[in-house]
Amino acid sequence: MKFTGKNVLVTGSSRGIGAEIAKTLADFGLKVWINYRSGESEAKDVQSEIITAGGEAEIIGFDVSDDKAFIDAIKTIVSTDGELSYLVNNAGITKDKLAMRMKTDEFMSVINANLTSTFIGCREALKVMRKKRFGSVVNISSIVGETGNAGQTNYSASKGGTIAMTKSFAIEAGTSGIRYNSVTPGFIATEMTNVLKDEVKEAFTSKIPMARFGEPSEVAQAVAFLLSDHSSYITGETLKVNGGMLM
């Protein structure tokens, strides 16, 4: 995979899919900034793994839904490296509950953590990247942002909004040579899905044409492609990584 830039910020990359994205991008030669909110020890583990494998990584802790904290973090990255070449907005939370029982603050907390944080990252990346007229951003959405899901009104709204917002940023940033794309993972084998009962996993798997959950590495490779020079004429697109569950 070919990259013109030299560094990348991956939010929420201390574990799960985010950690796999960070390690994959480091394998391709990028300096990775590993973001965490509360999992400092896990972030250090990811950093150590990258460095042991011959890569370069820094950790940077901040709450992505905090406007000032996100802005300050990007300033730190730019002052250290002289640029921010790539951004992956991956951080997010879930607070599942049936819509009729969901309180407004439960809805908004997920919107702020998932959608507002992605907006802040996209906006601040654009300000920095347009100075060099180069950059690529990938926003991690979800299959439920395309299909909806019972008990996930807040999460679905945040991820559906991410897809639409990505397209808007792509339109605004295109003439500056900056690309925005999104990835919508389906059911991926992570700590969250590993705790599901076998019968639940089987029910989900029966709806997937490839008859299995995806691996975090398969999402990471899709992200790497969309960031890289190999997708230099792709912007505003949504890449489905769901084993054919939604076509």
Cα angle 87-241-128, degrees, rounded to a multiple of 5: 10
- Chain position carrying tokens 């973001």: 35
Give the sign of the dihedral formed by CA 231, CA 232, CA 234, CA 238. Answer: positive
Catalytic position from the list 36, 86, 155, 180: 155
Q: Are 5 and 134 in contact (CB under 8 A)?
A: yes
Q: Which residues pair with 136 in a beta bridge?
A: 86, 179
* 190-209 exposure pattern, b = at least 16 Cβ within 10 A, e = fewer: beeeeeeeeeebeeeeeebe
Cα–Cα distances (Å) from 42 to 95, 186, 192, in that order, read: 22, 24, 16
Nearest to 8 by CA among 80, 79, 77: 77
**Angle, helices 16-27/216-227, rounded to nearest 10 degrees:** 50
Active site residue 155: yes
Q: Catalytic amino acids?
A: 155
